Structure 1
């Protein structure tokens, strides 16, 4: 009896002094509250934001732009996204995405290109130059985690995001919006990519642009293809809830590694605004 009591007492002491089994660490890149359909469809997220203009004369490699960023640093650093306009367009054509994405917990730069006539490959190089500026010399550089970066773009800017991904495979996410590019095969692209096409696009028809781009991406890659129902080439150039909600989800999932957003991407979503969705979910 004495031995039994001694053994029990010793066991209790060992439990008291032994370190507890460590819990799984929370994702250090999660930013903002748990998402809901309402939160990703809202015009603004949970972060208060500010913006600053980047003069063309103050930078090299791209044509200047506008930075949108969360004002609070309490959550730590943020991932960053550069967004390019399309052929003959300025940053104003994609500017609606700046505050929408930034308020969800990203630093965003919408850029002007060196020439409105720049081709996709040049726009890709300029997207990367904008990211380098953001992370190295911009006034918000200390707010950014330079290992968590992504690119987006409309039309030739969307084609530019594909070019940027091949040039810099360390990117965490790419979202070509009704993309146009003369190159159709992207077998060397390893960046998680969401391609958004438009059913009625006559400038970059999905049959000769978005669909072959998606199909050519490696089968083992994290990728998705969203075709907007009854939409035109210019659909992503003004406020579009479908473009926003799935762009936010993709950027959160792959730049922030935030699996709370898987629910919006996998299984493949459907609805009246979606003509088609293909993907390789579940994602890695």
Structure 2
């Protein structure tokens, strides 16, 4: 297990000077300056990709985030390279463009099995594309190609392409779709985040991946046991990569198919941290989360480097 590191970076307060009027004016100006810098406007100016209010534990655990969500269906007849799906997106355009995530279902499964992630993630400030695959029997390499095809459609041809920042994209997937998200990250290093959910893949080595990756395993998974899938995937990602492994406690291979707060809160934090470069979410990832009623184990590198 990697060592947990914590870096405290509290900013010391300036002491208020007394005495001459000029000194008081200078101190007052300094206080105003510090106050302004700590505001959301200045923070957002430092990071133009930041979206939404400052997060709290309750906000990332909520069933819905601060954005109202709309959705549009995409017919399989209107696309090539994947099986269509549903796009969920923040209704308002006031904040400009958003990062986007494509999500694949698992073996023999349909989009409906991962549909809960659509509105839950979109309401936090992402465009989310939950897809169907060409066939329910597609293997991980094919699912990886289909995730990339879905992102290309989303950014180039979809009715919401103007709402998406094509430089800030990620992939997720369940089971073989999770294995597919690793394949997509390997094939397209420009992706900003990958989140495999109880992933399955015969390939165990992922030294080529350059995308920050959070892998979810389940302690009771008998279809893709963590000992032969999620754990070796994590271990064989580059040691220099921003990566994490969260093993769900009292969970099964199919836990990601139902609305799950632990999956949601850490997925949101990971996507915000790496797609939006939003360091306000670092607090939920570092220091490393400790074992709990829902977390069997968490491994990762802290602090994050990118």
Map Cα deviations across residues 6-45 of structure 1 (whole Å, 9 max, x no partner): xxxxxxxxxxxxxx9xx77421111100000100000000
Specify the alignment match of 1:78 in structure 2: 98
- Which of structures 1 and 2 has the bigger CA Rg? 1
Q: 1:273 aligns with which of 290, 294, 302?
A: 294
Specify the alignment match of 1:57 in structure 2: 77
How many angstroms apart in 1 are the aligned matches of 2:302 and 2:130? 29
How many angstroms apart in 1 are the aligned matches of 2:46 and 2:205? 38
Q: CA RMSD in A?
A: 1.8
How many angstroms apart in 2 are the aligned matches of 1:265 and 1:76? 27
Is structure 2 residue 115 aligned with structure 1 residue 99? no
Aligned length: 268
How many angstroms apart in 1 are the aligned matches of 2:186 and 2:248? 25
How many angstroms apart in 1 are the aligned matches of 2:293 and 2:52? 28
How many angstroms apart in 2 are the aligned matches of 1:145 and 1:231? 35
Q: 1:109 aligns with which of 125, 129, 152?
A: 129
Specify the alignment match of 1:30 in structure 2: 50
Is structure 2 residue 253 aligned with structure 1 residue 233? yes
How many angstroms apart in 2 are the aligned matches of 1:188 and 1:151? 16
| Aligned-partner SS, 2:282 | helix
How many angstroms apart in 2 are the aligned matches of 1:282 and 1:160? 27
Specify the alignment match of 2:60 in structure 1: 40
Is structure 2 residue 186 aligned with structure 1 residue 166? yes
Specify the alignment match of 1:247 in structure 2: 267
Moved over 3 A (4+): none
Structure 1 unaligned residues grouped into runs of 5+: 1-19
Map Cα deviations across residues 196-221 of structure 1 (whole Å, 9 max, x no partner): 00001000000000000000000000
How many angstroms apart in 2 are the aligned matches of 1:275 and 1:71? 37
Q: 2:176 aligns with which of 123, 148, 156?
A: 156
How many angstroms apart in 2 are the aligned matches of 1:199 and 1:145? 36
Specify the alignment match of 1:133 in structure 2: 153
Is structure 2 residue 234 aligned with structure 1 residue 214? yes
Specify the alignment match of 2:200 in structure 1: 180
TM-fit CA distance, 1:230? 1.3
Structure 2 unaligned residues grouped into runs of 5+: 1-32
How many angstroms apart in 2 are the aligned matches of 1:135 and 1:65? 15
